[in-house]
Structures are given as C-alpha cells and as structure tokens.
Structure 1
Amino acid sequence: MTPQEGRRAGQRPVWVNPLFGVTDPASGITSVPPRSRLPEGPTAPASVSRLIRDELMLDGNPRLNLATFVSTWMEPEAHALMGDMADRNLIDRDEYPATAELEQRCIPMIGHLWNAPDPDSSIGTSTVGSSEACMLGGMALKRRWMRRNAGRYAAGARPNLVMGVNTQVCWQKFCNYWEVEPRTVPMEGDRFHLGAEEAAGQCDENTIGVVTVLGSTMDGSYEPIAGICAALDALEERTGWSVPVHVDAASGGMIAPFLEPDLVWDFRLPRVASINVSGHKYGMVYPGLGWILWRDRDALPGDLVEHVDYLGGDVATFTLNFSRSGSQVVAQYYNFLRLGYEGFREVQGALRRVATHLAERIEGLGCFRLLTRGDQLPVFAFTTGDDVTRFNVYDVSRRLREWGWLVPAYPFPPNRDDLHVLRVVCRNGFSLDLADRLADDLHSLLPWLHRQPAPMFGPDAATSFHH
C-alpha cells in the first residue's frame, strides 16, 4: 500500500515513529502519562521503555561521576551474567543451590585475603552493600558486650561505640537504631581520621567496640589500625577493659590485600573481631553488594542467627534483608575467577597510578593544594591554595559539572569545618586518558575562574556527594 492509498483508507504510514511523529492509539501513547498516579490503562512496552530512557538522559554520565565509590563499569560478560541471574532469589537456597554455593565460595576467598585464622572455614555473609554489613557488625559487638556485662546492662548502663567523625553515616544510624551512644572523635589539625590515642581515650567499661576505617571517604586515607589495636592492648593492661575492633574496609578491603600485602590491618591483629567490604566498590560489581566476615564463632553470637525452614530446607540467616537477587553475588564470583590475585593486583595498581598521576597534574596547576595524593585508596582530596581569593572549591565543582564532570565539593566535619575540599574517586573504567582530559578541562576553566570578582557559590548551593 502506498502512502497515498493508506491516507485514503484512513491509515497512517507505518514507518512514521508514533512516539516522536504523531499521536496514534495503536502505539499506546495518546498523551503525556501521569507522574504521580497510575495511568488509566496499559501502554505498549516499547513506548514506555522509550519514554523512560528519554527522561533518564537527564542523568549524568556514570563514567564521569568522580563522586561515587560504586562501580560504574563492568565487562560485557559480567553485565550479561547479572541480567541472566536477576530472577534468582538468593535467600531461596534450596531452590537455587548453585547460586547459594557461589556465595559460600566467595566467603573463604575473602577470608584468605584478610588472613582469617581459619580461612577455609570463614564465617560471614553477603549483604546489600556495606551499610547492612556495618549494621550486622555493630549488632554482634553489642550482643557480645551485653553477654559480658549482663548485670551492668540490666542496671541501666548505656553501651557506647567509639569512632572517628569521618566514618560513614551508617554508623550514626546504627547507634540511633540500636540505642548505642556514639562517641565520635573530631578531626584536629592535619589529623583527618581516628588516631590511636584518641580512640583509647574515649573507651570505658561500656564500650562495645571501636570502629576503624581502611580508606576514609573524606580523603582516601587509611586509619592506623595496628596502632589503634596497640593502644587498646595497653588500655586493657591498665584497666582490664577488653575492647574489640571492627574494621570498616568498605573500599580498602579490596585494595590493601593486593597493593600492600604486608600492611597489618586485618585478622592478623587479634583484637579485630569483624571486617566488612563493599563488593560494589573496589570489588568491581554494580551496586548493591557487601560482605562481612567475623574472626571466629565467638565473635558472632549464635543467638543472632535465625533458622528458616519454610523455603524447603533449613536456612541459617543473619541479615537485615531477606529476598534479594543473587546477580551481584554471581558477578562477584565472576570477578574473582576472571581476575585472580594477580589480575586484581594489576587493576588496582593501575587505578592507583591514575590517581597519583591526576593528583600531580592538579597540583601542577599552581592554585590547588593536595590533602592526599591517591597513594592509599586511589582517591584524593584537594583544596584551593591560600592565595586564591576569586573562586573556591564550589565554583570549581559547578564549572566542571558544565563540562560533564561530577566532582564533589564539601566541608570537612568538626573540628575542621573551616576546610572545604574537592574529592576525586578513581574506579575501574576511569582511564589515564580520561584523567588527562579532566586535568586539561580544569586548566581550561582557570582563566574564567580567575576573572570572577569573588567566589560565587558556597556549601549551601553545592550538591553533597560524600554520603
């Protein structure tokens, strides 16, 4: 049928795109769909997909998002594997035993990385990101303290948890939800994280544990975990207070084992009771996936583990979530098999080289001061030089956003809230070429910034990406 014949018959030409060209009931799009209630009837799948994809074009490019720690690139084979496994409910271990088996294989693999006392019998679980893992670690610390101090707890003693002000917000949430007093050590001078003596100085007989961070989200630096454990050893000798340590290794737990295997931060320290990591950060899996391991069965009270039998077999579970896709766990296992130890070492080493190279280039521009250099986590923070008065870090962040780069600007917490910084997170998929492009774009922006009479933006106008 010719177009003319079609028009005479009352039909529209079939090659006209009904979504962008004309309104056609056959396409399912006759008006703009409502945004706050269900539409009256169904719409064609292709039309809905196109509408949503068009709206999502307003998002930033994940590969240029240097604010986030989570993975924004995976190999096509891993990407396809996640799609194929999306319908597997991880909790249904009796129905999906192969998926459950892959989760159990990952746990001793991580146990070997973290030097667990008996890595092949490591005790742990996957979680929905590190936030859930931190909650589980905190719950175990509190329950152990309650057992040791049943009389004091019954008499009204309030447990407390010691941490640096740089810890992720999930630890404040844990203290709020589980009625634990947060004892937060502020920053001081050039100390941007928890120090050993400061940690020990906050502890008492009601301290359930100390949270240490292997890779601060503020600046990418490692806390002195071995030094903190030594200070707590000395405290126990003086007072008899035995304070366990949880290591929040959300990022560093997949960096340090490969790039600094001799750095003692993990289960080689007897005081370390539990460690968590984000598989969706430097484990290189799309969000959300976390892992937590405990030193041994004494570190995880058995009465926290629930047994469920209505799924067809006995399932032991210690998680806050229940039903979730097994796709992230399968992708983690893929990465472990695909890369192996040497592959991870090469990838993480390349990221660190990109981070240190970019930090040096930014320092070479002459108007920025580095706080860290990307030589621990492949993450670094920097601020404007003391002689820069016409622009600030928020102006830089806004200008870079116009070029497509998402680089967060934020103030440090007390007692260093006078310090405002930019932070760059280098992840798999952020190449040396892209790093040079960022440095070149930043250099191109400087003449515009120097022509400003004064800074134009402040923290209230900036978007915070820290948490």
Structure 2
Amino acid sequence: DPNRVKITTMPVSGRAAEDIVQELQHFAEKEDKMWQLGKVSGTVYSNSDEHTSLMNRVYAAYSWSNPLHPGIWPKLNQCEGEVIAMTADMLHAPPIGSMTSGGTESIILAIRAHWNVYGKRRGIRHPELVCGTTAHAAVYKACDMFGIRVVSIDCNHRHDSFQLNPDRVSKGITSNTIMIYASAPSYPQGVVDPIEALSKIALRYKVGLHVDACLGGFVLPFVDDAPVFDFRNPGVTSMSADTHKYGYASKGTSIVLYRDNTLRHGQYFSYSWWTGGLYSTPTIAGSRPGALSACAWAALVSLGKDGYRERSHLIVNAARAIADGIQLVRGVKLLTPKPFMVVSFTSNEMDIYRIQDYMTKAGWNLNALQSPASVHICVTLNVVPKVDSFLRDLKMSINQVRNEGKGGRKKGTAGVYGTVGSLPAGPVDYSLRAFTDLTLEP
C-alpha cells in the first residue's frame, strides 16, 4: 500500500496499548481473509477456530519464556523432550532429536551433523552431498555455509517421475561423499523418493541418509498406501518433520531426528572456553521463543493420533480429487499422479504461468515452479472444501489463456519467467537480492 503510514524513528512518547492492538487487528483481519477463503497453497495448515484459540492461549501462557534457561522454565524442557519423543515414535526412531525453528534449520543442522561425523571424523577435506534437483533450497543454504559440494542428480528425466534415481545416486557417490539427501515428499512435485533403495545404497557406501519429511512427516504415517519412508529403513540416519505444517502447531517449530546420539552431538554448538561461562546449545539460536515449544506440545497432545489420521485422510483425498480432475482437463498435464498433499501440473499447449496468472485473478495463490515450468497447489484443511472450485477456475483460466493466444506470453508471471530464462545467472541473482532488500524495508 503506497499510502501506508511508515514509522522509521522510534516515537518519543509511546502509544496506547489499545491503539496498537486495534491497528494490528485491522490489518490482520484484512490479510487473513485470503487464506481463510481456502484458496492459498500451503502457508496456513489448520482451519479450526478452536485450535487457533488453543494455540493463542498456550502462547500467552509462555509468552516471556526462553528454553535457553531450563532452570527457570523446566516445563518447556519437558514439552520439547516429549514432542521429540512423540515424533520419533511416529517415525519409528529412537527418541534422539531436537526442536528447531523450522524445516530449513532442521535440514541445516542435519547436514552439519553429518559433516562433523561422516566428514571431519573420517578426514574428508572436500565433503560432498548427493541429492536430486528436487531437493529443498535449505540444502544449498547448508552447503554454502559449510563448504560442501552439492552433487545434484537430475530428477526431470522422462523415466524417473521426478524421483531421485538410485542408480544415478550410486554413480554420484565418491570417497568424499558424506550423505545422501532424499525427500518424502519433495516440495516441487510432491513425489516421495525411493527411500528403501536409497537406504541400501547408504549402507553399502557407509554414508548418511537424511529424509526430509518436513511436508510429509505428520501425514504419511497415517496414510495406508504410503511407502516405508522412515527409520524402518536401516540406512536412514536422520529425518526432519515440521510440527508447524501438518503438525498444526504455530509457525516456528520443526523436529530433526537422528539414529544415534553421536550424530545428534554433531549438530550441537558447545564452547567450554567462552569467557561468558560454559556454553552449549542444540541449535543455531541461543534464545528461542519458548511459547512455540509449548504450542507444538499442545498441538500433538490435543489432536492425538486419531486427529492426525482424520486430517491426513482429508488432505490426501482432496489432493487426489484435484489430481483426478486435472487429468480430465484438456490443456494441462498432471505431474503428481499419486499425490499426498502437493499436486503439480504443467502444460504442453500453452504457457503454464499465464494459467497461473488467471488463477490468481480468480483469487488463488499458487506456487510457480521451474525446470520444468509448472505450478503446484499444496492442499491444506482450508483447501479441502474448495476442490470443485479449484477445478472450475482452472478450466476457466485455461480457456482464457487459449483465447488470448501468444500475445499473453509477455505478461504477468509468464513475462517474468520468460525474461529470467533468457538471462545469465548473475543478473537474476542480483534481481533476487534487490527484491529481498525491498522485503526488509518498511
């Protein structure tokens, strides 16, 4: 809003509490309407006012708490430990793990742990990680941070259905490999990698295997036709599962799990020589919002296995109904034939990004993907009742793109991605940084 009031200097005299709350509530009510309409991919996963009230009440009870000080808030320490144990039990793991700020930190810490245990302890000076092109961007963040070379396996091969191919993974492993990274499911196409086959490869080459179940961790365990994706595969050494997605906890928590405590110790930050005293934290952050730990605990114990099973069936059934509907729509091609929550599609006849633009005009907020050019919707409880509306709007959007012909290719998202595809990496990276700058301005 170009007419918004911006505060760039701290006021001399503070504002009244009620005035502050009224201002924020005004914008929150306006901004929340979009996801409450059920037309947003992912983002907000719960649709229950009662559950939202529970999260708010629990957060308020521990709003000043900090897990860095367990002597002051011992209940939080218990809450975190119990969330770790409950998640581990669900994923057939020992109760060895840590609560993090989200999926990205869980992945970063898992990679750091493998670098310390499978890399440094083995004398590897130039570590490598093998993953697919469908791997989450957090992998690249971690490898940037720790100086690890990414060996990226193309998952866009016509025979692979966007899965990480075990044979090509084997060929990508060298004496410098510390770990394999797999997805359950992947963010772009929502496909579960062949974890059982990758587990055997990890055991054969004595490397780690991380399974990123940030999306699927609280869904797949409750779906009858889900593959065995967890610690039941003996080669799996770590996993990540987001409590703040389909765990239905407030934003800001995830769980990373390990097969043994040696690996978990590899993620820790411990400094016995610090002049401020003996210092050790399990995660990157020092101080953390303890209220979020309490919210994660409250979410798990309030819903229980029955609650997660019920919600998972709603999510999967809706995702598959969307997928079935897409297969009947002329002009688009389904990329996720057996979805669990993410449904991805493209078009061989027209620009998929123009289709997305018209879906945006119809009120939908979908995710644009590239390599290949495609779009996906991540089904949440808010989206579940909107399956018919989604398919109806998709057909309408396709007809609009078909009617406008080639002239629409330079417009909207299609124009942006078309320009990006014609430029070298340097200018595109600069543009991304410039955009990020804008998000940090008032």
TM range (shorter): 0.7 to 0.9
Change over 3 Å in CA distance of 1:451–1:337 after alignment to 2: same
Counterpart residue number, 1:381: 344
Q: Residues 198-247 of structure 1, C-alpha deviation per residue, up to 9 Å, x if partnerless?
A: 111111111111111111101111000111122344xx3xxxx4111111
With the length of structure 1 as denominator, give the TM-score of the two structures: 0.79
Counterparts of 2:118 and 2:325, CA distance in 1: 49
2:103 to 103, 127, 130: 130
Instruction: Determine whether 1:218 maps to 2:195.
Output: no
| 1:210-359 correspondence runs (5 A) | 210-233=180-203, 236=204, 241-260=205-224, 263-301=227-265, 304=268, 306=270, 317-359=281-323
Instruction: Determine whether 1:366 maps to 2:363.
Output: no
Counterparts of 2:111 and 2:241, CA distance in 1: 14
Q: Residues 262-285 of structure 1, C-alpha deviation per residue, up to 9 Å, x if partnerless?
A: 732222222211111111111112
Q: Displacement of 1:460 after TM fit? A: 4.9
Counterparts of 2:251 and 2:233, CA distance in 1: 30
Q: Please, which runs of 5 or more residues in structure 1 have no aligned partner?
A: 1-30, 413-418
Counterpart residue number, 1:108: 85
Q: Residues 398-430 of structure 1, C-alpha deviation per residue, up to 9 Å, x if partnerless?
A: 122222210122222xxxxxx321101111232
Aligned residues: 407
Q: Is the contact made by 1:130 and 1:250 (CA closer than 8 Å) also made in structure 2?
A: yes
Instruction: Determine whether 1:42 maps to 2:1.
Output: no
Counterparts of 2:234 and 2:167, CA distance in 1: 19
Counterparts of 1:309 and 1:82, CA distance in 2: 35
Counterpart residue number, 1:81: 58
Q: Is the contact made by 2:109 and 2:267 (CA closer than 8 Å) also made in structure 1?
A: no
Identify, as 1 or 2, the structure richer in helix.
2
Q: Is the contact made by 2:268 and 2:283 (CA closer than 8 Å) also made in structure 1?
A: no
Q: Percent identity?
A: 21
With the length of structure 2 as denominator, give the TM-score of the two structures: 0.83
2:133 to 142, 148, 165: 165
Which of structures 1 and 2 has the bigger CA Rg?
A: 1
- The aligned amino acid for 2:69 is D
Change over 3 Å in CA distance of 1:177–1:78 after alignment to 2: same
Counterparts of 1:353 and 1:88, CA distance in 2: 39
Counterpart residue number, 1:426: 379
Q: Displacement of 1:397 after TM fit? A: 1.5
Counterpart residue number, 2:427: none
Q: Is the contact made by 2:267 and 2:283 (CA closer than 8 Å) also made in structure 1?
A: no
Counterpart residue number, 1:196: 166
Where 1:43 maps in the other structure, the secondary structure is coil
Counterpart residue number, 2:388: 436
Counterparts of 2:415 and 2:16, CA distance in 1: 43
Where 1:125 maps in the other structure, the secondary structure is strand
Counterpart residue number, 1:394: 353
- The aligned amino acid for 1:171 is V
